[in-house]
Structure 1
Amino acid sequence: MAKFNTRTAPGSSPVRTATTPTGRTYEGGPGFARDQKSELFLLAVTNMVGEATFYESAGDRDSRFARLVRDVAVADPAWVAGFLGWLRSDANLRSASLVGALEATRALVDAGVPGGRQLVAAVLKRADEPGEALAYWTSRYGRAIPKPVKRGIADAIARLYTEYGLLKYDTASKGFRFADAIDLVHPVPAAPWQGDLFQVALERRHNRDEVRRESLPMLTANGEIRQAAATDPRVLLDADRLRAAGMTWEDVLSLAGDRLDKAALWSALVPGMGYTALLRNLRNLDQAGVSDAVAGVVAARLADPTQVSASRQLPMRFLSAYRAAPSLRWAYPLEQAIGHSLASVPALPGRTLVLVDTSYSMNAGFSKDGTLRRWDAAVIFGVALAQRCAAADVVSFSTSTKVFPLVAGESLLRSIERWKAGGFFLGDGTDTSGALRRHFARHDRVVVVTDEQAAAGGSVDRAVPASVPMFTWNLAGYRMGHAPSGSGNRHTFGGLTDQAFRMIPLLSAGRDADWLWLVG
C-alpha cells in the first residue's frame, strides 16, 4: 500500500453548501443552498446596503442581510464579532459592517447575550459614523436605544471626535449632528480638550456663540482664516495655514469662489488632501491646469503602496478614477495603485481557465449614482488573475462566449479598456455550463467570476471533471450557488477586494482554508 506517492488530498474551505441541488438559481439552473454563515459572508462582502441588484430589490436584500446577521450573532457571537471587524477593516465595507453590528446587537440584546457594546464600537472608525449609527437605529427601531448600542457609540465618540472631524463632518446637512450624538449617548471625554470640543459642538448645534478655547487651536485657526478670506482670498493659497486650520478642499473652493486662479488654488490644496480626495479629484486637477511638478507629487502619493493600503480603496475605484481623468499623466500611477490593491492575487502554475460572466445581470451597478458595474469588477479580478498565471485562457461568457487574448506586458487598466472597446461585455443570459464545456481543455484549474445565477440546461458542477479544481468568485451574494462548495475540488469565495484570493494557493496545496479573519 502506497504511503507517500499519492496525490494531495483536496482541502476544505469555509463557504459551504449542500452537496446536491436543493433549489434553483434565479435563472432556473440547479441551485445549491449555503449554510447561514456562508450565505451571510457572500452577501455582506458584496452588499452596498440600500441598493438593489438585478434579481433582488433593495428592501429584500437588506431584510435578508439583517435576518442572517441576527440569527448568526445569537448562534455564534464570537464568529460575528470577528467577521464584522474584518468586514469594516480588510473588506473595506463601511455600511454593511455598521448595519451588521447594529442588527447583531439588537439580536444579542433580545437574547440576553453580552457583547453588543464591543461590536458597535469596533465598526465605527470615522467621525461621521456615530451619527450614521444613530440615524440607522432610530429609523428602524425608534429612539429607545439600548445600553450596549449607546455605550458602543460613546466609546467610538471618545476615540473619533477631534477638531478636524468636527470641521469636516458636523454639517447642517446631517440628521444627527455631533451634539445630537453627545446628548443621546453621553460619552466620557478622553482628555480635557475633548470635553471642550464637546461643548463647542453643543454651542454650534444650538446656535449659541462659540467660545474660543486655547485647547482647540485648529478651530481657532479655522475661524481666523475664514474671517480673513472674506476680504483677502489670497490667504487660501497658504498650504501650511490651510492644513493648520483643518480646511477641507470643499470649504476652500466654496470660500474662494471665482476670486483666485484655479491652478494656484488646487496647488495649495494638494498638500493637505487625503488619498481618497486626490483620487476623486484628478479631473479637477487637470481642468485647473496644475503644473507637472504638482501632478508629480500627486502621482507619487497615488502609487505609494503604503498609502494605497491605508486608503482601503476597492480596486474598482482605481478603474473609475482612470476612466474619469482626462490626462494620461495619471495612467501609470493608477496602474501601480490598482496593482498594489490586488497584491493578494496569486501567481498560479500550470494552465488556468478564467471565465468572466458578462451576462445581462452582471450589468447591474453597485450603487444608484455609480458608473461601475458588477461586470467591471469581474473583469478586474479575472484579468488580474490571468496576468499572473503561468498560462491562462480568458473567456467572456453569457449565452455566447468570446475569448479575450492576453497581451504580454500589457497593463491591467489598458487590458480592461481593451475589453470594453473590443465588445467583450456580451449581455444576454448566463450559460455557465455551456461555456465550461466549450472552453475547458485539460486545464489544471478553472476560475469563474460570476453572480452564479446560471441558466437552466446544464450542471455547472459536472461541466468540469470532478478531479479538476473549480473556484467560483461570487460578486453578488444571492442565496443559491451554481455549484457545491466547501470540499473536494469545488470552492466559492467572494467580495470586492483581493482578500479571498489567498485561499486558492492553500487549497491547491491540499490545505484547509479557514475564514479570512481567523487565518490573518
Structure 2
Amino acid sequence: MLVAPHVSAAARAMPQQSRIHQVPTPQQFRTYEGGPAFVREPRDELFLLAVGNFVSQRTFYESGTERDERYVRLVRRLAVEDPDWTAGLLRWLRGEGNMRTASLVGAAAYVRARLDAGASDGPSNRSVIDAVLQRADEPGELLAHWTSVYGRNVPQPVKRGIADAVRRLYSSRSLLKYDTASHGFRFGDVLNLVHASPDPDKPWQGALFRYALDRRHHPETALPPAADTVLTAHRALMELPVAERRALVTGPDGSERLAAAGLTWEALAGWLHGPLDAAVWEAVIPVMGPMALLRNLRNFDAAHISAEAADRVAARISDVDEVARSRQFPMRYLAARDNAPKRRWAAALEQALGHSLAHVPALPGRTLILVDRSDSMFWDTVSERSTLTRAAAAAVFGCALALRAEQADLVEFGWSTKEVPFTPGEPVLDVQERFHRLGGTHTTKALRDRYRDHDRVVIVTDEQAAPYHSGGPTEPVPPEIPVYTWNLAGYHPAHAPSGPHHHTFGGLTDAAFRMIPLIESGRQARWPWTAPDQAGTLRGSSPSRPGGGASPEG
C-alpha cells in the first residue's frame, strides 16, 4: 500500500502537474445543468471519455451514439496529431484498463484516420491492432466492427495485425469456447480473410487452423486432429448418447473429464439437454473460474447446492490471489452482492471487494470526501449490462478512501449535504448502504458547507454541477489545498478548472486513486502507460487567476 507523507505548507506551494488540463474557448460554455464549464484539451477529454465510457451506452446527458461519435472523433484526431500517446492509451485500455470494446473501436479508428491522412510516423497500424486483441474472439469482433463501419475492404495493416494476434490467441480450448455460430466471424472466416499462417514455434497450430476452416465450411465431415487430445476428448463427449451424459458428469472424475474436453459451464446445459441441478453444479464448480462462480451465485441458490459446495465457492471468490488474477473492477463484487439473494455470500463478497481495493492509499492528515448523490448519478449505470449505478460505485470508492484515511469526513451531496457515519474497520458494503439520493448537483454549496481546513478534498462525481451564485466552483477551498475530482461519466464539460493544485481523473480503480500520494509526495503525475523516464508527463495548466486553470466561459 502506498502511503504519502503529510502535505506540508512548503509542499502545497510547489507547482504540481495537473492530471487534466482545461483551456478557455471564445464561446459561452456550460455544463449540462447550466453551470459555468471548462473545456478540456483533446488528450484529456479522450482519456476521461475512454475510462468512463462503455461503448454504445446511453447516459443521462448524452446518447450512446453521441458518446461513440465523440470518442471516435477524438481518437481519429489524435491518431494523426499524437500517435505515440494515442497508441499508448489504446494499449493501456485493453491491458490495465481492462476495457475491451473501447480499445477495439479505438484501434480501428486509429488505423482508419492514419490511412486517410497518409500518416506514417509513430507506432505502426499493424502493431496497434495486434496490441488490443487479447482474447481469441476479438479478431472476429474487430473484423465485424470494421466491415460494419468502414466497409468490406479491409486494409493490409488491419489484416496483418489480426494475423499476428491469431497466432498468439488461437488454440484448441479457445476454438471450443469462441468458435460458435453466435459469432458473426467464425475462426475460419478470420483465417480466410487475413491469411494467417501458423506460428512456427507451435507445430500443432497448422492442423488446428485446418480444422477451424473445416468446421466452418464442411462441418458435417470435419474431424479434429488425432494428436489434439482436447479436441478428440471433446468430440467423444459430443458423440456420447444423451441418456448417458448426466451420469458421466456426476460420476467419479466427472469434472476432470469435462475440463479435459474443454466443455465450459455455458455449454453444459445444452449438452445435457436439460437444466443444471445441484448435483451437476457441484460436479462442475471445481473447474469453473472465479468470475464464472461470481456470475452464477443466484443459480447456485436456485439449485440448492449443498453447504459444503457453497463453502468451496465462497473460498474461491474471496481468495486474494484469485481476485488479483481476475482483474475485475471492484464494482463487480458490489453488483454480485446486490444480485445474490442469500446472505451466505455476503462475507465472501465483502472480502473480495476488500482485496480488489487493496491498493487504495491510506491518506494522511484530514481529508474531505464528497460523493455525488444527484439524480444523474442514479439514472446511469456503470455499463448497459449492469444494474449498478454510478451512485453506488462512487459510494463504494468514497467509503474505501474514508476507511483507509488517517482522518476523513465522508459526505454525500446534492442540493444538500449529509455526513455519512462510519467506524474504522467497518465493511465497505455496510457503510455504502447509509447513502441517500439528494437531488441536483451543487458542488460549490457542498464545499462551502463542509470544508473546514482539510488537507485535501476528494470529489467523486459526474461533474454536472448546477449554476453557482457567486465565486468559483471550488471558491470555498484555499488555492493551495489539493482538490481531486474523479469524473465517472467522461462528459465533455468540466465543472471546475485544473491548476497547480486541482486535478481531474477518470476511472474508478484502485490504480487511479494511487495518483493522490504520488502527486503529494512531489512526483509528477504521468499518464498510466508512460514510464518515469519517458515523455508524456501530464500538463499543468497556467493559472489565469489564483488557484485555477482557465477561467470559466460565460
TM-score by length of 1: 0.94
> What code does the residue aligned with 1:183 have?
N
Shift of 1:80: 1.5
1:100 aligns with 2:116: no
Residue in structure 2 matched with residue 34 of structure 1 by the alignment: 40
Shift of 1:300: 2.4
CA contact (8 A) 1:318 1:338 kept: yes
Residue in structure 1 matched with residue 303 of structure 2 by the alignment: 288
> What code does the residue aligned with 1:201 have?
A
Residue in structure 2 matched with residue 378 of structure 1 by the alignment: 394
Which deviations, in whole Å up to 9, do the C-alpha atoms of 1:184-218 show, x marking residues without a partner?
A: 11111123322222222222222431123123221
2:248 aligns with one of 209, 216, 235: 235
**Distance in 2, Cα, partners of 1:348 & 1:96:** 32
**Distance in 2, Cα, partners of 1:259 & 1:110:** 52
Residue in structure 1 matched with residue 62 of structure 2 by the alignment: 56
Which deviations, in whole Å up to 9, do the C-alpha atoms of 1:310-366 show, x marking residues without a partner?
A: 212111110011111223332222122112222231101111111111111111123
Moved more, 18-27 or 277-286: 18-27
C-alpha distance 241-491 of structure 1, shift in aligned 2 (>3 A): same
Residue in structure 2 matched with residue 125 of structure 1 by the alignment: 134
Residue in structure 1 matched with residue 539 of structure 2 by the alignment: none
After TM superposition, list the pairs within 5 Å mapping 1:504-519 onto structure 2: 504-519=516-531
2:336 aligns with one of 300, 317, 321: 321
2:223 aligns with one of 211, 215, 218: 211
After TM superposition, list the pairs within 5 Å mapping 1:250-399 onto structure 2: 250-258=266-274, 262-363=277-378, 364-399=380-415
| SS, match of residue 496 in structure 1 | coil
> What code does the residue aligned with 1:270 have?
I
CA contact (8 A) 1:229 1:255 kept: no
> What code does the residue aligned with 1:149 have?
V
Residue in structure 1 matched with residue 512 of structure 2 by the alignment: 500
| SS, match of residue 355 in structure 1 | strand
Residue in structure 2 matched with residue 169 of structure 1 by the alignment: 178
**Distance in 2, Cα, partners of 1:112 & 1:316:** 42
Which deviations, in whole Å up to 9, do the C-alpha atoms of 1:143-199 show, x marking residues without a partner?
A: 111111111111111111111111111111111111111111111112332222222
1:12 aligns with one of 13, 17, 20: 17
1:464 aligns with 2:477: yes
> What code does the residue aligned with 2:400 have?
A
**Distance in 1, Cα, partners of 2:509 & 2:453:** 29
Identity of aligned residues (%): 53
| Unaligned stretches of 5+ residues in structure 2 | 1-7, 533-554
CA contact (8 A) 2:269 2:275 kept: no
CA contact (8 A) 2:259 2:287 kept: yes
1:455 aligns with one of 454, 466, 469: 466
TM-score by length of 2: 0.88
1:185 aligns with 2:194: yes
**Distance in 1, Cα, partners of 2:9 & 2:455:** 20
Which deviations, in whole Å up to 9, do the C-alpha atoms of 1:367-395 show, x marking residues without a partner?
A: 33421111111111111111111111111
Computed over aligned residues only, the root mean square deviation of the Cα atoms, in angstroms, reads 1.9
Which deviations, in whole Å up to 9, do the C-alpha atoms of 1:3-46 show, x marking residues without a partner?
A: x9944514213321127997211111111111111000000001
> What code does the residue aligned with 2:278 have?
A
| SS, match of residue 437 in structure 2 | coil
**Distance in 1, Cα, partners of 2:118 & 2:229:** 45
1:446 aligns with 2:446: no
| Unaligned stretches of 5+ residues in structure 1 | none
Moved more, 333-342 or 346-355: 333-342
1:220 aligns with 2:232: yes
CA contact (8 A) 1:32 1:481 kept: yes
| SS, match of residue 293 in structure 1 | helix
1:135 aligns with one of 125, 132, 144: 144
CA contact (8 A) 1:13 1:514 kept: no
Moved more, 265-274 or 47-56: 265-274
> What code does the residue aligned with 1:481 have?
A
CA contact (8 A) 2:18 2:500 kept: no
1:150 aligns with one of 159, 167, 175: 159
Which deviations, in whole Å up to 9, do the C-alpha atoms of 1:238-293 show, x marking residues without a partner?
A: 01100000001021122224477x22211111122122211101111222222333
Which deviations, in whole Å up to 9, do the C-alpha atoms of 1:413-443 show, x marking residues without a partner?
A: 2222343xxxx122x2111111111111111
Moved more, 475-484 or 458-467: 458-467
> What code does the residue aligned with 1:128 have?
D
Moved more, 200-209 or 172-181: 200-209
Residue in structure 1 matched with residue 488 of structure 2 by the alignment: 475
Shift of 1:138: 0.6
**Distance in 2, Cα, partners of 1:369 & 1:82:** 27
| SS, match of residue 105 in structure 1 | helix
C-alpha distance 353-20 of structure 1, shift in aligned 2 (>3 A): farther
**Distance in 2, Cα, partners of 1:463 & 1:510:** 24
**Distance in 1, Cα, partners of 2:104 & 2:342:** 37
| SS, match of residue 491 in structure 1 | strand
CA contact (8 A) 1:228 1:235 kept: no
